[in-house]
């Protein structure tokens, strides 16, 4: 029996790989994208913190803390395996407002900006968005099984769901 590799993503982390992997992360205002190729059974997850970086990637390299960079990292990875964005099942999670009582129009809404960036970038590059669980309040625990494309989501309230069955 093949062993399964467990990958834990912290904010700013990115992973793309094969069927032997379970990827886990914990989200607040950050957002995760999962991508899964149903025929090749490869995929990955990112955990970005902000919509974009003001310094061009060409000057400092790609940085997974930013949505635009994380999507570019996905594009590079899928090109390496000879596939196209439209072949992937994409899912988007997170963007919860962690401090709604402080928001009240005074501060930038990072969670909302992260959601908008993710939706826009996935659309711009031709990914098929199959499922989202976005906004609200409180953290989310996310687990992605690359072999099956299944995403399990546990909310702050303890609700657990097989959020993103690709079928």
3-state secondary structure 126-161: CCEEEEEEECCECCEEEEEECCCCEEEEEECCCCEE
Q: What is the pLDDT of residues 120-162, one digit of tens each?
A: 999 999 999 999 999 988 899 999 999 999 999 998 766 566 6
Structural domain includes residue 43: yes
Domains: count for the chain: 1
Q: Mapping DSSP to helix (H, G, I), strand (E, B) and coil, where does residue 46 land?
A: strand
Structural domain includes residue 167: no
**Residue 53: pLDDT band with limits 50, 70, 90:** confident
Tell me the percentage of the chain whose pLDDT exceeds 90.
73
Beginning with the edge strand found earlier in the chain, give each strand of the sheet holding 42-48 in spatial order: 14-17, 42-48, 31-37, 89-94, 128-134
- The CATH number of whichever domain residue 131 belongs to comes to 3.30.1330.200
Q: What are the residues whose beta carbons fall under 8 Å from the beta carbon of 138, sequence distance 6 or more?
A: 96, 98, 155, 156, 157
**Residue 165: pLDDT band with limits 50, 70, 90:** low
* Domain span holding position 106: 5-161
Beginning with the edge strand found earlier in the chain, give each strand of the sheet holding 5-9 in spatial order: 5-9, 21-27, 140-145, 150-155, 160-161
> What pLDDT was estimated at residue 98?
75
Q: What is the pLDDT of residues 94-117, one digit of tens each?
A: 999 876 666 566 667 899 999 999
In this prediction the pTM is: 0.89
Structural domain includes residue 105: yes
β-bridge partners, 25: 9, 142
Structural domain includes residue 166: no
Mean pLDDT of the region 70-76: 98
Please, what sign has the CA dihedral across residues 62, 63, 69, 72?
Answer: positive
Structural domain includes residue 42: yes
């Amino acid at each position: 029996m093949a062993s399964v590799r467990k990958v834990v993503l912290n904010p700013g982390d990115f992973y793309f790989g094969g069927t032997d992997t379970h990827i886990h992360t914990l989200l607040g205002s950050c957002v995760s994208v999962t991508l899964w190729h149903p025929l090749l059974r490869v995929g990955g997850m990112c955990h970005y913190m902000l919509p974009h970086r003001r310094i061009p990637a060409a000057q400092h390299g790609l940085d997974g803390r930013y949505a635009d960079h994380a999507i570019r990292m996905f594009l590079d990875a899928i090109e390496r395996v000879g596939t196209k964005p439209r072949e992937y099942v994409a899912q988007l999670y997170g963007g919860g407002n962690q401090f709604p009582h402080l928001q009240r129009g005074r501060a930038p809404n990072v969670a909302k900006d992260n959601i908008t960036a993710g939706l826009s970038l996935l659309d711009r590059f031709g990914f098929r968005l199959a499922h989202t669980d976005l906004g609200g309040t409180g953290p989310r625990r996310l687990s992605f099984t690359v072999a099956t494309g299944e995403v399990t989501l546990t909310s702050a309230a303890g609700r657990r769901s097989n959020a993103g069955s690709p079928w």
